[in-house]
Chain A
């Protein structure tokens, strides 16, 4: 681990040129190649067979500003491309948030849901589905489209802010308190969700179930335009916390004495996770496994340096989710599998294989 730093500046901030350290060009080149390959496969594969040359032609025509004709173009530009971009955004957000949380909590079991954002979003979504029908339908005739993701996003964000307030005393945030408050809120939200599913009717109950399964189906340009402003800044800012997180692995007090602005790192990390994961959950529902396992895989492959871990997690998470989505919509075509099943089915065996290979030398 390379926490040894020039004493002339605060350890918390990472300089731009440090984000992609020269020591691991191979890893990043490999991840980039993987992303490109997965992206091309995602655009070319699906229920409709479209030759790769045709896909490239459609993209080139669209990029050149000439409208491509026919159903093929529509499937590539309106169905697959938005789905690919949403998959990249959500996968990157979940995995880099997972790496951020594991570094912040100094716990390999931490996942982005730990700060309450998933539970809050799920609760708000359930409330929107069940109460929205009762309260809003009589007024508006039908549930306004787009209310569910907005509600979920707001619910996730508000919950995280509330937990952060609970855990902060005198300008210091106790991660242990935040964790415990998150557990308590999770239990409460489970109870209220149960109540909602009890009072919900048949249709609402099925909506709840399928929302909680998670899916990239129904990705539209509108959704991407809504989610990108919340996810992209987080992806750009996250790597700048790398040095602070590296120092935090030694312990909070030690990091503080090394000159890390611990409180600022904590607040920023929590905010970034809440916004990025909130937007992801709102657009794609609950997709487990990516956030917790991708950082582990990278740590096993390339060590625990957050300067590598944070950007690499975003790249691998994006690639994994897009790959899973491609399989999900191809394997049972023209039907689709829920993507959560695939992220686990693709990621878990690989993860286990890595664990077995590294047996004895496991570093978390």
Chain B
């Protein structure tokens, strides 16, 4: 076994050099890792070329239904990906483990990495990199322009918000303890895009919020993600501490689909506009174009 492994170790570079490289003439076989990547690929008209997706690729719905599932974005296996004989692996930043993706690269499959930056500029960059990787520069330019137009409309609408709503994003309510989105989270970026004030901006990242902190923050609205196919979320106002905040008086709870709301892909301008309308109902009339 040791003699074998030593030989194999010495052989590895020769082996890798001998591998046939993916040629441009072959049909593309893309493994798409990350919900936003899959969404962009479909919008670029490259959905047919996807052979595998990760489990966060939940939009469009057909992605997970039609394509092989290589697992959760942070628990990938090199062999699983290679078994799909991909010509391209396009992965969101943070996909891994790094060793698995490195093995995929060693097998001669280029791994294109998409940066994580929850902002309009970040989305534009994502579209550009994905479009370049799959030879869709014309489609990419069109999609980028469409997204930019969406953000322009969003900005125009946001300027009409005279009084930003003080909102709180609640990720989960485990044991009645809210886990909320502080500074640096996608939720914080989304609330800013929607013209709202994040009352949890004093916290860094996703953090549990104490009852007293919640009461002191005094959010006027609570935003949550829909859970399950029913689209329900647990009712936070049933909890005593939540009952004491301004949002409870008018039962102002906004529930939205998680991937739509926090995915930072092509649908983000629309999601931000929806969130803005939901958070500022009195000012919504002038917002929707």
Contacts and interface: CB of A to CB of B under 8 A. Distances in A.
Contacts of B102: 218, 220
Contacts of B100: 217-218
A74 to B, nearest CB: 5
Interface residues of A, number: 49
Contacts of A48: 79, 82-83
**Chain A facing B: main interface SS:** helix
A263 interface: no
A70 B108 CA distance: 11
Residue among B9, B77, B83 facing the most chain A CB atoms (10 A cut-off): B77
A77 B11 contact: yes
B79 A224 contact: no
Contact of A333 (B11, B83, B103): B83
A347 interface: no
A67 B16 CA distance: 10
Contacts of A219: 99
Given A74-B15, A201-B184, 18 more contacts: A62-B11, A67-B11, A68-B15, A71-B82, A74-B107, A78-B106, A199-B204, A203-B94, A215-B97, A218-B99, A218-B102, A220-B102, A333-B83, A334-B71, A335-B77, A335-B80, A336-B75, A336-B80
Residue among B1, B4, B83 facing the most chain A CB atoms (10 A cut-off): B83
Interface string B78-113: 111111110000000010011110110011000000
A81 B18 contact: no
Interface of B: 1, 3-5, 7-9, 11-12, 14-16, 18-20, 52, 55, 68-72, 74-85, 94, 97-100, 102-103, 106-107, 184-185, 204-207
29 contacts: A46-B79, A46-B83, A47-B80, A63-B3, A67-B18, A71-B85, A74-B19, A75-B82, A77-B12, A78-B103, A78-B107, A145-B98, A201-B206, A202-B206, A206-B94, A207-B74, A210-B75, A217-B75, A217-B97, A217-B99, A221-B12, A333-B83, A334-B69, A334-B70, A334-B84, A335-B77, A336-B76, A336-B77, A336-B80
